[in-house]
Amino acid sequence: MVKRLMAALIAIAAALCWTAPAYAHGRSGAADARFAQTIAGMELTVVVRASLQVPSPLQVDVVVHEPGPGGRVGLTLRSVETGAVSSGEALVERGRRGMYPVVLSADRVGPHELVVRAGDERSVLPFDLLVARAPPWEVGVYVAFACAAVALIGALVAAALSRRLVAGGFGVVFVTATAVALTVAGVSPFFTPPVPDGARPVSEQERLLGKPNAQPLIEVEPERPAAYGEFLLRVTLFDGSTGRPADDLAEHHAALAHMVVTSRDGAYFRHVHPVRVAPGVYEVRLRAGGPGRHLVYAEFERLDAGGQLVSGAFTIAPGKERRESPPAAGDGGKAVVLRPARPVAGQPVTIELDTGAGAVQPWLGMAGHLILRSEDGGFLGHVHENASMTAVTERVPDESVARFGGRLSFTFSFPRPGRYLAWIQYCKDYAIVTVPRVIEVAAEGST
């Protein structure tokens, strides 16, 4: 009897293991939704905290990394299906970084839009409001442990009444139930998680084939911005097969899109997160650096498709006299160590940065970011800090917790020899710190 029961349980576990993939793109129902935004002179991350149930109040935290002029940040949550709206706002104080909580309400799961307003700018962020479902194997573990507890009590009672046969039967049930609970709990990481409530259905064609790359149109207004003046940078994305706006970007490292803008010499560097102003259209307002050619890189990911990096360029016209220094060959006052000291193309190198006293907070889901650009601009790399890459497999670290040590480590292999411009970024006391570095990479076999 016991052998048959165990065989049946093993068969059920195998069936659960071979269930077709069932998950929401990018995050589970127990994960927060994060949207970094460069808006109205501020650098924010809007975090929609995961909900245990809906309808319910919805906790939203506005994490301010660069407060700029400060001001009101309005948030409006709208259900795409019902049109139900909930609004609130955070009053960002000039010069004060940190967390600004806002409480909204949600009446149902499924597709929503979060509208972020600051100054005269407005961003509409589409996302799915999810609620996690209890996995069936988790319920099975609880039931098995409950059966084991009942069997243990029954065995003790039967033994006290000197009913050895009954006590032996309860003992077998206790051992079997405990073994089942421990076995299912042990192999549960290999089971496919259940689809959270509110997740968008994925067609078989999308699951197997994905989607084509988005084609970019990169523009600036005015067409030739003046040096050190304000300008608007716009990226419009089109579907590669239909020509329609590519308006299905997934939350990718806590943003819908990441944008890196640099001058050719690296003196000007901005890592920003444009606002979504229309389907497939992303804009960010910047203040220009010195005159000359500037390079633009936009990184994003479409739903049920791979990550993508697109690039473009524009020219800053001469304007007011002002001088910016290119990134120093040193480390900007921070202790940057390369191992080996002279990197070789095609071989891994570890780049370490001592951030000083005090722990750092995660930004964009990681303890640190290393952005690398070849001197000619033909290559851009984006590397995440090693320790936080391990931590994010468990759960994306919370922005409010300074949980990482003062030494950051990155591992990378340079594709070609030559000079590379590098920028290490991390967050401490909610402020984003950028450390520039120039790295000379030798050819393989050189001394």
More confident residue, 110 or 391: 110
Confidence class for position 388, pLDDT limits 50, 70, 90: confident
Query: Per-residue pLDDT for 287 more than 80?
Result: yes
Give the model's pLDDT for residue 194: 74
Q: What is the DSSP letter of 249?
A: B
pLDDT reading at 395 higher than 90: no
Residue 60 contacts residue 35 (beta carbons within 8 Å): no
- Which CATH fold would you assign to the domain 33-129? Immunoglobulin-like (2.60.40)
Residues 143-180: tens digit of each pLDDT: 888 888 887 887 788 788 888 887 788 778 888 878 88
- 151-155, 207-211, 241-245, 395-399, range with the lowest pLDDT: 207-211
Residue 393 has pLDDT above 60, yes or no: no
Question: Which position has the higher pLDDT, 20 or 50?
Answer: 50
- Ordered by start, the domain boundaries in the chain are 2-6+137-190, 33-129, 204-316, 335-441
Task: With cut-offs at 50, 70 and 90, classify the pLDDT of residue 205.
Answer: low
Architecture of domain 204-316: Sandwich (2.60)
Using CA atoms, how far residue 226 sits from 176, 315, 387, in Å, is 76, 9, 42
pLDDT for residue 323 is more than 70: no
> What's residue 21's pLDDT?
37
Mean pLDDT in the chain?
85
pLDDT, residue 356, reads: 86
pTM of the model: 0.82
Let me know if the fold of 33-129 is the same as that of 204-316. Answer: yes
Cβ neighbours of residue 2 closer than 8 Å, sequence gap 6 or more:
172, 176
- Alpha helices per DSSP H over 161-254: 164-187, 204-209
- pLDDT higher for 67 or 187? 67
Segment 382-405 mean pLDDT: 75
Half-sphere exposure of 12 (CA within 13 A, CB side): 12
335-441: what fold? Answer: Immunoglobulin-like (2.60.40)
Q: How much is the pLDDT for 335?
A: 78
Higher per-residue confidence, 234 vs 203: 234
pLDDT exceeds 80 at position 349: yes
Q: pLDDT category, 324, cuts 50, 70, 90?
A: low
Quickly state the pLDDT bin for 333 (edges 50, 70, 90).
low
pLDDT band at 341 (very low <50, low <70, confident <90, very high): very high
pLDDT in the model for residue 431: 95
Instruction: Give dist(CA 224, CA 232) in Å, integer.
Output: 11
Query: Tokens for 371?
Result: 């952005």
**What pLDDT, on a 0 to 100 scale, did the predictor assign at position 292?**
95
CA dist 195 to 80, 133, 306, 384, 396, Å?
20, 7, 20, 28, 19
